[in-house]
């Protein structure tokens, strides 16, 4: 009987150690320099189909906020104020530094956040280049303006689009096995779609089966009726 009890205790201890080994600690260190946040509650919320989970929360105090806790896997969540999403964050092992500034909002310091926000920085740069050139095209249509540069502007717009798509596809090809790739795909495929856009099709055509099986990706595939060529 004593041996049986000892074996049970050892088995329970082994189970607890196994559970602890699968649990990671996260920390969120935030700095806020934007009006309207002081004293307000911020929360980490995971939005899943048919389920919304509030994971953690705190209040902004003197322009700073902190959260910490345990997770058993990397989770894609949103930092929210008044239940409204502000920025996405990958909740994973380590310390995430969040900056809420008037000019930018970023999360950094861990693998997936660094990947995601590095991509986002490059995407924003592409979008800004396109917007600047588009404004030049718009201005060239005004009466009295020199329209001789219209062909150059149109060519420049196509080049920017091609370069942006190459940047996106290159990022995805390098990171299909990373959770950050799913977050990028979510951002690119957001909104209703009756057919698969050419960029999304290009990403899916090149993706490994493991990426296609991710919950959000497989749901998108079913919704739009995508079939690999």
Domain ranges of the chain: 25-109, 113-224
Q: How many CB atoms lie within 10 A of CB 183?
A: 21
The C-alpha atoms of residue 34 and residue 105 are separated, in whole angstroms, by 10
The C-alpha atoms of residue 184 and residue 117 are separated, in whole angstroms, by 10
Mean pLDDT for all residues in the chain:
87
179 band by pLDDT with thresholds 50, 70 and 90: very high
User: What percentage of the chain reaches a pLDDT higher than 90?
Assistant: 69
Write the CB contacts of 32 (distance below 8 Å, at least 6 apart in sequence). 38, 60, 63, 64, 65, 100
User: What percentage of the chain reaches a pLDDT higher than 70?
Assistant: 87
Phi, psi for 74 (deg, rounded to 5): -65, 130
CATH for the 25-109 domain, from 2.60.120, 3.20.20, 2.60.40, 1.10.1200? 2.60.40
pLDDT above 70 (res 15): no
pLDDT above 90 (res 14): no
The C-alpha atoms of residue 213 and residue 108 are separated, in whole angstroms, by 27
pLDDT of residue 145: 61
pLDDT of residue 139: 77
Q: Where is pLDDT greater, at 24 or 79?
A: 79
């Amino acid at each position: 009987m004593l041996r049986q009890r000892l074996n049970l205790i050892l088995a329970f201890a082994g189970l607890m150690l196994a559970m602890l080994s699968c649990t990671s600690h996260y920390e969120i260190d935030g700095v806020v320099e934007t009006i309207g946040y002081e004293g307000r509650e911020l929360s980490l919320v995971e939005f899943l189909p048919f389920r919304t989970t509030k994971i953690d929360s705190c209040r902004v105090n003197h322009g700073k906020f902190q959260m910490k806790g345990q997770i058993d896997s990397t989770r894609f969540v949103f930092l929210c104020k008044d239940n409204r999403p502000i920025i996405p964050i990958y909740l994973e092992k380590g310390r995430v530094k969040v900056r809420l500034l008037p000019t930018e909002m970023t999360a950094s310091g861990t693998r997936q956040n660094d990947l995601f926000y590095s991509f986002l920085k490059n995407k924003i740069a592409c979008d800004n280049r396109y917007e600047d050139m588009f404004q030049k095209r718009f201005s060239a249509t005004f009466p009295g303006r020199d329209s001789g540069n219209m062909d150059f502007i149109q060519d420049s717009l196509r080049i920017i689009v091609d370069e942006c798509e190459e940047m996106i596809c290159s990022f995805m090809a390098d990171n299909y096995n990373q959770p950050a790739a799913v977050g990028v795909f979510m951002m690119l495929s957001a909104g209703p779609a009756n057919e698969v856009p050419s960029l999304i099709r290009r990403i899916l055509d090149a993706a490994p089966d493991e990426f296609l099986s991710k919950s959000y990706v497989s749901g998108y595939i079913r919704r739009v009726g995508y079939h690999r060529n």
